[in-house]
Amino acid sequence: MLNYRNGINKGLYKIMSKMGISTVASYRCSQLFEAVGLHDNVVKRCFDGVDNRINGADFSDFEQDLFNLSKRAWLTRYPLDAGGLLKYTHQGEYHAYNPDVVQALQKAVNSGDYADYQHYSQLVQQRPITTLRDLLALNDTTPIAIEDVEAESELFKRFDTAAMSIGALSKEAHEALAQAMNTLGGFSNSGEGGEDPARYNTNKVSRIKQIASGRFGVTPSYLMSADVLQIKVAQGAKPGEGGQLPGDKVTPYIAQLRYAVPGVTLISPPPHHDIYSIEDLAQLIFDLKQINPRALISVKLVSEPGVGTIATGVAKAYADLITIAGYDGGTGASPLTSVKYAGSPWELGLVEAQQALVANNLRHKVRLQVDGGLKTGVDIIKAAILGAESFGFGTGPMVALGCKYLRICHLNNCAMGVATQDETLRRQHFHGLPERVINYFRFIAQETRELMAQLGVRKITDLIGRTDLLSCLEGITSKQQKLSLTGLLETASSPTGKALYCQEHNDTYDKGELNQRIVAQTITGVEQKISQTHYFSIRNTDRSVGATLSGLIAKTYGESGLSATPIKLHFTGTAGQSFGVWNAQGVELTLVGDANDYVGKGMAGGRIVISPPVGSAFKAHQTTIMGNTCLYGATGGKLYASGLAGERFAVRNSGAIAVIEGVGDNGCEYMTGGIVCILGKTGINFGAGMTGGFAYLLDEDTTLSQRINNASIELLPVANYAILAEHLRGMIAEHVRLTGSQQGERLLSQWEYWSQHFKLVKPKSSDVHALLGHPRRSVAELRVQAQ
C-alpha cells in the first residue's frame, strides 16, 4: 500500500506541476481533461462540464468493450499478450511507424525512385483508421494540368523539420537536417538545446531557433542567426512539460552548448518563468522583435480545448506565426507517463484556431502551421484545407536519416547513431545523408502537387478553407461509425472579407523608439570599434532597452562582442520591462532609478548597474529596485543592483555574476552556472533544481536553512574557506564601487563579523574546492588566486 500511495502522490505532483496548480483543493473538480469521441449522453452523465468537441461512443460500446475484455481474461489456453502499446508487436496495437512503413520509406529515400515512395504512401493511406483525418476523404473535382500547380520550390518554403535539439539528436543528424532544409529552401528547427556558433552563416545553420522554458544556449548571437524565432509554449506529444535530456546524453560538447554541467540530466521548467499571462507573452515577443527585427516570431501551441482563444491572444500579442502541435508528434526522450493520454489530435486544434482567428479578423495577419504525425502529401492537403499554410515534420525526416524506431532514444543507445551522443555508435552506424531527407521532401512535394492538380487547385493557399473538398467516411468499427466530424468541416468566413491565410505583417504598435535612438548614436562606434559613452532619460514605457544594440553587436562580432571597446549607456528614470535583455558583450548599462521585470534576461556579457538616486530617503537594501524574473536564462555578464529583486531571480542562470541586496521566493531555480551574491534576506525555495554555479547568501537571522530547497543543494559556512571569503569580499567591494551601496559598505566595515554570517550554497554534486575554477571568474577571484 505504501508503494501504491507513493505512486499516486507522484502522479498527482506531476499533473499539478504541469498544469500550474499549487494545492489539492484547486485540483479537485478542476476537470483538467478532455473527452475525445464520447457521446454527449455519456459526457453529461459521467463528465458533466468537460469539453467534448466530437460526438462518439456510447454506453453500448463500453459494454461491448467489457465483454471482449472478459473473454480475453478467461482464456486458459494462451497467456495474455503484451499488446504493443509502447513498442510494435506483431498483431498487437497498430503503430503508424511500423517496420513495413519504416523500411518502405528508407528504401524510397535511398533509391530516389518516386515509385518506391508511392509504395510507402500507399502503406500509410491503407492503414487501419488511426487518426481523425483518416475518416476524411478527398472529393472528386475537375482536375487541372500539373504544370499549372505552383512549383515544388514554393512548397519547400512551407516545410519545416520540427524542433529536435542537438543533444536529443546526434551532432551529425542535427546538421544533416539543417543542410537538407537549407538546400531545399525550407526551414530546420534547432530545438531547445542551443546551436554551435560554428554553424552560423553556413549551410548547417538552423533557420528556426527555438526559445523554450529552459533557455538553453539562448544568446544574442544565437537569436541573430535565425530567420524565425519560435517560442515553445507547449509540445504536442507532452503538453505541460518542458524538454528532458538524460544525463548520459549531456556530454561535454552538449553541456558547452547548453551552458550546463556534463552528465547532469537537464529538464526545462514546466512554465516559461517570464510568461504568466498573455501580456507577458506579448512582452517576450516584443523582446525578440527588438533584438532581431528581421526575424518572424512564432509561438508553438498544443492542440487542446480553448486553443482558438489562445491563438487569438497570441495574434493580438503580435506574433507572426502560430504552430498547432498534435498529440501524435514524436518525442525521443520522455517517460511513458508524459506521452500516453496527453494532448489532442491536431485536426481539432487547427480547426478551432482557424475559425477563431478568422472570426476575430486576425487570420490574415498570422501564418498558421501544423505539426504532428505528418507523413505524406495527403496529410499536407488535408491540413491545408483545415487551415494550415505551413507544415512541420519530425519523425519522417529522422526515419529518412536511418532511424529504425526502436524507442530507445532516451538510453543514448540509438543503433543507427541518430539519437545518441555515443561517439562509437555515431562513427560506425550513422549513415544518414542530407540527400535522403531532400528526397523525402521532394517526394512529398511531388505527391502534393499531383493531388492539387486532381483537385483543380493551383496554390496551397487556395486550399485553405475549402472544406467542400473533404467528406466524412463512415468508418469500420461501431465507435468509428458514431464519430461526428461535421464540426471539422464548417467553413470559416471573415466578417470583413479578409483572406483566410496570412497576407499582412503583424507589426507591433511600439516601435522601440529609445532603442532606435541608441542605435543611431552608437552605430559608428560599433562599426569602427570605438568606445563611446551616451546619456539618456528613460521611462517605464521604454521596454527592452539595449536589445537592438546588443543584436547589432552580436550579428557583427558574434559572442566576443565589443569587450575591448565597450559602449557605455547611462540612464536616469524608471526603466520598463526587460531592461538589458540579452545584453551583449561590450554593452555597459548604468541606470540611476529603478526597473520593472526581466532585467538582464538572457544577458550574455557586458554589465548592468542599477542604483537609487543619490540622497534618496529610503534605505536601498530594504527597497525593491527591480521586478521579477531578472537574469532569467543569463549565460554571462555581470549585474549589480543596490536594492531588492523580486521573485524568481536568476532562474536558469547559466553563467552570469550578480550582486543584489535581497531576493524574493524561488531564486536561482534550475541554475547551471554563474555566481549570485545576496546581501540581504532570501525568500523561500531558493536553489530548487540547482545543478551548477554557486551563491553567497547573507544569513543574518540564522534562518536560511529553512528557506532553501535542499533536495539538490547544501549550505556551507563561507568563513571556513578563506579563498571564498576573500572572493566574496572582492565582489562586495566591486558592488560598492559601482553602486555606492550603503549595505555593502556596512558589511565591509565589519568584515570579520559579517563574514561569519554568509553561507555558500552549491550543488551537492560539486566540489567546494573546485568552485573558483569555473571559467567565468571575477577580477577579485583572479587576484586571490594570484596571491
pLDDT, residue 18, reads: 76
Q: 541 and 483 in one domain?
A: no
Helix (H, G, I), strand (E, B) or coil at 705: helix
The pLDDT tens digits of the residues spanning 403-456 come to 998 888 888 999 999 999 999 999 999 999 999 999 999 999 999 999 999 999
Q: 749 and 671 in one domain?
A: yes
Nearest to 727 by CA among 760, 749, 757, 703: 760
Q: 277 and 331 in one domain?
A: yes
- DSSP string for residues in 560-626: GTTTTS-EEEEEEEEE-TTTTTTPPTTEEEEEEEEE-S-TTTT-EEEEEEEEPPTT-SS-GGGSB-S
pLDDT, residue 366, reads: 98
The pLDDT tens digits of the residues spanning 479-505 come to 999 998 988 998 888 888 899 999 999
pLDDT, residue 80, reads: 67
Is 117 part of any domain?
yes
Is 427 part of any domain?
no
Q: 151 and 219 in one domain?
A: yes
Q: 517 and 485 in one domain?
A: no
Q: 643 and 556 in one domain?
A: yes
Query: Lowest-pLDDT range, 78-92, 118-132, 384-398?
Result: 78-92
pLDDT, residue 15, reads: 83
pLDDT, residue 401, reads: 96
Q: 357 and 276 in one domain?
A: yes
Is 42 part of any domain?
no
Q: What is the rounded distance in angstroms from the CA atom of residue 654 to the CA atom of residue 691?
A: 10
Backbone angles phi, psi at 240, to 5 degrees: 90, -5
Cell numbers describing residue 655: 553563467
Is 31 part of any domain?
no
Most confident listed range (52-61, 279-288, 776-785): 279-288
Note the pTM of the prediction, 2 decimals: 0.94
What residues have CB less than 8 Å from 751, skipping those under 6 apart? Answer: 729
CATH number of the domain encompassing residue 713? 2.160.20.60
Q: 520 and 481 in one domain?
A: no
pLDDT band of 336, cuts 50, 70, 90:
low
Nearest to 656 by CA among 679, 638, 678: 638
Alpha-helical segments (H) within 137-230: 152-156, 171-184, 220-224
- DSSP string for residues in 461-497: HHHTT-GGGEEE---SSHHHHH---GGGGPPP--TT-
User: What is the 8-class DSSP label of residue 77?
Assistant: S
Q: What is the rounded distance in angstroms from the CA atom of residue 649 to the CA atom of residue 631?
A: 6
The answer on pLDDT for 335 being more than 70 is: no
The answer on pLDDT for 30 being more than 90 is: no
Is 19 part of any domain?
no
What residues have CB less than 8 Å from 86, skipping those under 6 apart? Answer: 336, 407
Contact (Cβ atoms closer than 8 angstroms) between residue 638 and residue 608: yes
Is 532 part of any domain?
yes
Is 418 part of any domain?
no
Please state the rounded mean pLDDT for residues 62-67. Answer: 92
Cell numbers describing residue 535: 546619456
Contact (Cβ atoms closer than 8 angstroms) between residue 668 and residue 269: no
Give residue 460's domain range: 105-406+434-489
pLDDT, residue 328, reads: 81
Is 13 part of any domain?
no
Please, is 269 exposed, middle or buried when counting C-beta atoms within 10 Å of its C-beta (0-12, 13-18, 19+)? buried
Nearest to 502 by CA among 278, 316, 322: 322
